Amino acid sequence: MASSAMGDTDGRDERAKYLGFSSIAPHPYSATDYSAGADHETEKETISFPAVGSPKHFKKSSSGITTTTTGSIENYHSIEMTQVYDNVSEDIEKNGVVERSRWVLNAPEPPGLFREAADSVRDTLGSMRNKYYKSLKSQNSFTKRMLLINQNIFPILVWGRNYSAAKFKNDLMAGLTIASLCIPQSIGYATLARLDPQYGLYTSVVPPLIYAVMGTSRDIAIGPVAVVSLLLPSMIQKIVDPGTDPITYRNFVLTATFFCGIFQGAFGFFRLGFLVDFLSHAAIVGFMAGAAIIIGLQQLKGLLGLTHFTNKTDIISVTKAVWNSIHHPWSPYNFIIGISFLGFIFFTRFLGKKNKKLFWLPAIAPLLSVILSTLIVYVAKADKNGVKIVKHIKGGINPSSLHQLQLHSPFVWEVAKIGLIVAVVALTEAIAVGRSFATMKGYHLDGNKEMVAMGSMNIIGSLTSCYVATGSFSRTAVNFSAGCETLVSNIVMGITVLISLQFLTKLLYYTPTAILASIILSALPGLINLNAAYHIWKLDKLDFLACIGAFFGVLFASVEIGLTVTISFVKIILISIRPGTETLGKLPGADVFCDIQQYPMAIQIPGTIIIRIKPALLCFANANFIRERIMNYISEDIEENTKRTIYKLLILDMSSLLNIDTSGIACLEDMHRNLNEQGIQIAIANPRWQVIHKLKLAEFVNKIEGRIFLTVGEAVMNYATAKFPVRTTT
C-alpha cells in the first residue's frame, strides 16, 4: 500500500512537471488507515479539510450520506471527513459506474429558452442580490433610503465625510499643477478639433466639476484629449465643412457631445459596460499609435505656419499637403519658435524623470512656454514678420448652448452615430487610464458608475458649450505624481481654468500657434506604447495582427477605418461575448467534479470554491465579464454567510479553455491581486497547451506560486494536505 501511494505521488509530481510546476504536496490519501477485518466489513479513510461552519463528519452507509455536527468553531482549525464503507461491493453497486450513469440520466432539466434569456438579462443588468439593492431594501426610513440612493449616485457624499485638511493641501497642489498643463493643452486640442480656443477651456471647467461629485477614480484628470479631438472633425466634416460653415460645424460637435453623453450614461445605467470590451487592448494600442502619428503630422500646419492644408487624416494626404504647402510663402520663424520650445518641454521632462523632486517642472513647462513665447512675440512684434498668433480668445464663464443643439436636423441620426462611436472610444480611454492608476493605489474602479459619471458630465457639458471630455493619460499621470488624494484636485483645476477664462484670456492674444502645435506634439509620445506592442507580439500573434491592422488602418486609410479594425469584428463573430461559468462540487463516492446545479448531490469542498470557465477563448470581449462574475459570486456568498468560513482557495478549471489573449491574462492578474488581498489563493486545473504556455510567458504561474494541477481533484488534494489555516468571521 505504501509503495502504491509513493508511486501515485511520483506520478503526480511527474505530471506536474509537464505543466511547469516542479513538485506538489504528497497525496493526502497516502495516509489512509485501513482497519478492515478479515471479512472486509469496514474500511476507514481520513482526509483533512478546512471547515465551513461547525466541524462535520460525513458518513457513507447503506441508507446514503448523512452528516453530524460536532464541536464548535475555532478561528484556526481543520476537521476530518470520515467515510465508512460497510461493504465494498455494496458501495460499488450504489455509487459505482451504474449509479453515476443514473445521475447523468436523471439530472434536472436544463433551463429553457425563456429561462436562459431571463438569466442573461439578469447577469447583464445586475442581480437584485447586489449589495446596494440589499442595503436599500433593508432601510425602513424613507430619508435613509434617499440618502443611500444619493450616496450611490454621488460617491463624494461617502468619501467626503472623511476628508481632511491634509488631503486638501495635497489636492490643492495637484490641482494647480494639472491646471498649468491643462490650460495650454486645452487650447491646442480645441484647434485640433477645428473649434475656437475657448471651447477647449470650457471643456476643462464643467466636465471636471461634474465628474468630481459622481466619479469613482481618485486620480483621473478630466478634459479634452487628442484622440477624441481628432476623431470628431474627421467624421463631422463629412456632413459640413468646418472651414466654410464653422457655426453649423460647431453645433454638430455639441450635438454629437450630447449623444455621446446619452450613450455613455445608458451604458452605465443598463450595465452594458461589456460593449467597451469590443475594443481589444491590442487593437487600442495600434489605434492610439496610428492616431498619434496622424495628429503629429497635422501639427506641421501650426509648426510651419502653413495656410493651405488638407482636411483628410491619412498619412499620404497629409504628407502631400505639407509638401505642396512648402512651395507657398511661409515664415521660418514659426518653425524656430515651435521647435525651440518643444525642445524645452522635452528637456524639462528629462529633468523630471532624473530627479523625482522636480516632477512639477514638466507639468508647468507648457504654461511657461506659452508665457515666454507670448512675451517674445509681443516684444519683438514677430506677428508683423509672419508669425501666426492665436488672436482673440473669448473670455467669461461657459455660455449656454442648449439652443445650438441640432436635434431636429436632417443629419441628426448621422450625428447620433458619431456620438456612439466617440462615446465608446472616450470610455475605453478613460476606463483604461482609471484602472491603471487604481491598480497602482490598490482600490477598485466601478466601471458602470464611471460610465454614468462620464455620460452625465458630457450631457451637461454639451449644454454649456463643451465638447467631448474624458480622462487624459498625460494629465492623470501628472495628477498622480503631484500627490493627489481625491477628486478635489479636479475641482481645483476646473476653478483655476474658470478664473483664467474670466481674467486672463486677453493676455493670450499674441500666443503663437506654433507653441500650441509644440504642446500637442509633446503629449504624443505617451500615446505610442512600444513596450505594450512588444508584449502583445510575445504573447499572442493574432492579437498583434489586430494591433498592426488598427495602426495601418489609421495611418493609410482613415481614423474610421482604423476604428473599424480596432473593433475586431472577426474575433467577435468567432467567440461568445456572454460566456458562462460553473460552480463545481465533488460527487459522492466518485473522484469527479461536476456542476452543482446539474448535480444537486455534489458536495462543495469546505474552504474552496471551484469554478469552471466555459468558453473556449478567454479574451478582450469576455474577460472582464468573467472576472466580475467570479468576484461577485465570491463576495455575495461571503455576505450571505458572514458566520461561515471565508474561502481560502479558488480553483479555476480551464479544461474547456483552448486559448487566452492579453486581456484575459490581465483580468486573471487583476483577480489574483484582489483575491490575494482577501487571503484567497488561486489554483489552476487542467490548462490546455496554449493557455499554460502564455501563462508562463506572462509569469502568471510565478505570481500564483506554481499552483498548476493536471486535474481539479489533484488541486483539492494538494490543498487538503497543505492544511492552510482558515479564518472565520464573527
251 and 406 Cβ atoms separated by less than 8 Å:
yes
What is the predicted pLDDT for the residue at 492? 96
Q: Which amino acid is at 351?
A: L
Residues contacting 63, CB < 8 A, separation 6+: none
Which residues sit opposite 64 in a β-bridge? 61
Q: CA 433 from chain center: how many Å?
A: 8
CA separation, residue 686 to residues 508, 651, 716 (Å): 65, 10, 13
Measure the CA angle with vertex 72, ends 66 and 77; round to 5°. 95
Task: Return the HEC string of 366-382.
Answer: HHHHHHHHHHHHHHHCH
Residue 255 has pLDDT above 90, yes or no: yes
- Tell me the pLDDT tens digit for each residue of 224-245: 998 899 899 989 998 999 988 9
Instruction: Give the CB-side neighbour count of residue 589, counting CA atoms within 13 A.
Output: 24
- 358: Cβ contacts below 8 Å, ≥ 6 apart: 351, 352
Phi, psi values for residue 543, rounded to 5°: -60, -40
| 3-state SS, one letter per residue, for 140-200 | CCHHHHHHHHHHHHCCHHHHHHHCCHHHHHHHHHHHHHHHHHHHHHHHHHHHHCCCCHHHH
Q: Which helix (H) or strand (E) holds 120?
A: helix 113-125
Domain range annotation of the chain: 121-153, 156-573, 576-722
pLDDT confidence bin for 592, thresholds 50/70/90: confident
Return d(Cα 360, Cα 351) in angstroms, integer: 10
Extract the C-alpha cell encoding 187. Answer: 487650447
586: helix, strand or coil:
strand
Element (H, E) at 489: helix 488-503
Class of 576-722 in CATH: alpha beta
Task: Give the residues across from 728 on adjacent strands.
Answer: 645
Q: For residue 223, what pLDDT is reported?
A: 95
Structure confidence at residue 296 (pLDDT): 87
Cell of 614: 466555459
Q: Could you tell me the pLDDT band of residue 105, with boundaries at 50, 70 and 90?
A: very low
Buried b (16+ CB within 10 A) or exposed e, 572-611: beebebebbbbbbbbbbbbebbbbbeebeebbebbbbbbb
Q: Which residues contact 97 (CB under 8 A, 6 or more apart)?
A: none
> Strand, coil or helix: what is 669?
helix
Q: Cβ(550)–Cβ(564) under 8 Å?
A: no
Give the global pTM: 0.67
Task: Find the DSSP H helices in 270-392.
Answer: 281-298, 300-304, 315-326, 332-354, 360-380
pLDDT tens per residue across span 265-310 = 999 888 776 666 666 778 888 888 888 898 888 888 888 887 777 7
Q: What is the pLDDT of residues 483-541, one digit of tens each?
A: 899 999 999 999 999 999 999 888 889 999 999 999 989 988 888 889 989 998 988 78
pLDDT in tens, 347-366: 999 998 888 888 788 889 99
- Cα angle 273, 279, 284; round to 5: 130
In angstroms, the CA 187 to CA 169 distance is 28
Angle between the N-to-C axes of helices 412-441 and 447-462, in degrees from 0 to 180, rounded to the nearest 10: 130
